[in-house]
Amino acid sequence: MEVKKIMNSIHTILLERKSNNFMSLKVKRLLAQKRSDGLGKEYDQFCADVQGLYSTCLEYLEKWMTPMEEFSTFTGMDLSEPPEWNDVEACIKFLGEKGVVIGDVKCFDQVTNLKRFTERCNRDEEFSGLQVHQKWTKYFEKAKSIACYSELLKIAQFVFALSSHNANVERVFSLMQSQWNKERNQLSHQRREAKPRKQNRGGHTKEQHELDQDQLIAESKKKGSTAIKDLMCRTFAHRRHDVISLKMSIEDIKDRWPVLFDVSQVSAEFQRITTLNLEPKFMSMLDFYFPKLLSMFQGKKGAVGERHRAKMSILLQSGIPIQRKREFVIRCLIDHLGKDVSALIKDFEDAADAPVSVQEELAEEVMKIYLLQNQDGSVDEPTDVGIVILSSEALGILAEPAAICWD
């Protein structure tokens, strides 16, 4: 919306300049001087070029503005003015055609509250200077409960899921190209030997790291050890050398770094690499987009839509734990995208008289998430959730399937 508003403003200015054949006074003085010098033909050509420049700029701008016209219905979402119900109603109709169901009765009352909020806050210069998504965040934070904005939230989730640019994606690919190439990935024997020494600056020799590693293995066998966190931080460079430079197999890594295959340490390792606590971020965003995803699943047609609705009837029952909801959303999202859920997630039923050996069953798989459930159904939750990579169990006994998908 902000991009569209800026582009409309630039378009209006260019139209005015073209219609008035605008040139600065300094340029006009220079042109008048050239014309008096007998360069009338060149004068006319320059004026024609100026008009051509304006026309070219307008054509280019209109080319990129055309795709945005589809979303002109949502112009009022910028909250620069109090929202009008007719504008919101047009948004509801648009989303209805996309399979996003908005309750118009609830939404009308919520728009009334939003209107009062906008009228009050737009008098505040600080609020008026906020970006659109920040204004909506302010409103959601001020509301007493989700019942005050549940339908507006669906509209906002749809609008703000539309990225105004793909600069972030392009940057990721640019960084990948600079890092992931033959020159960087095919290290000579001498450089592989030298790399640990470069990583171990600061007084930590390779021998010291080996001692820390032995201590780490010993600490991993103790229950509730408090030294593991510090040891994992100290051996980080050595561990990254094993994983990235030496490209050790899963089995070798498990032998050398068994602590790394603990769920909590997987999260901690990601945080050491990215400086972000990724698991809570992943879960919170999955929960945040839950209503939007449900609406998308409900609007799906054909056989996939029938499968979604069959699962949704179970999901919408009261008392369903959040872990089951997350698992449902991930399974449906895979199916929604036209992929085979069983290609990623494998369900097993375990019976007392015929126990299942997960590693034997998945011996030929490159990577597979598995859920082990009691055959008698005596326990609602899976008895084991884990991941197998190259026939080796990398993680097991996880809290929920969504945690596996993040890992």
Q: Which of 371, 322, 365 is nearest to 345 (CA)?
A: 371
- What percentage of the chain carries pLDDT values higher than 90? 12
Instruction: Give the per-residue pLDDT at 291.
Output: 84
What tokens appear for 375 in the block? 């055959």
Residues 207-231: tens digit of each pLDDT = 777 788 788 888 878 877 788 888 8
Residue, of 282 and 406, whose pLDDT is higher: 282
Decide if 151 contacts 107 (C-beta within 8 A). yes
Q: Could you tell me the strand order of the sheet in which 345-350 lies?
A: 345-350, 367-374, 384-389, 392-395
Instruction: Give the per-residue pLDDT at 401.
Output: 56
Neighbours of 253 (CB within 10 A): 19
Q: What is the mean pLDDT of residues 70-90?
A: 86
Decide if 66 contacts 111 (C-beta within 8 A). no
Q: Which of 98, 149, 157, 70 is nearest to 296 (CA)?
A: 98
Instruction: Give the per-residue pLDDT at 200.
Output: 47
Task: Locate the DSSP E strands across 197-339.
Answer: none
Decide if 58 contacts 11 (C-beta within 8 A). yes
Residues 322-338: tens digit of each pLDDT = 888 888 888 888 888 88
Enumerate the domain spans of the chain.
2-67, 79-160, 199-261, 280-406
**Res 203 pLDDT > 60:** no
The C-alpha atoms of residue 191 and residue 184 are separated, in whole angstroms, by 11
Residue, of 10 and 362, whose pLDDT is higher: 10
Q: What is the mean pLDDT of residues 57-61?
A: 91
Confidence of residue 196 (pLDDT cuts 50, 70, 90): very low
**Res 60 pLDDT > 60:** yes
Q: How far is CA 216 from CA 187, 221, 222, 230, 396, in A?
A: 29, 9, 10, 10, 20
**Res 112 pLDDT > 50:** yes
Taking all residues of the chain, what is their mean pLDDT, rounded to a whole number?
79
Instruction: Give the per-residue pLDDT at 49.
Output: 92
pTM: 0.43
Residues 265-289: tens digit of each pLDDT = 888 888 888 777 777 888 888 888 8
Residues 18-37: tens digit of each pLDDT = 999 899 999 999 988 988 88
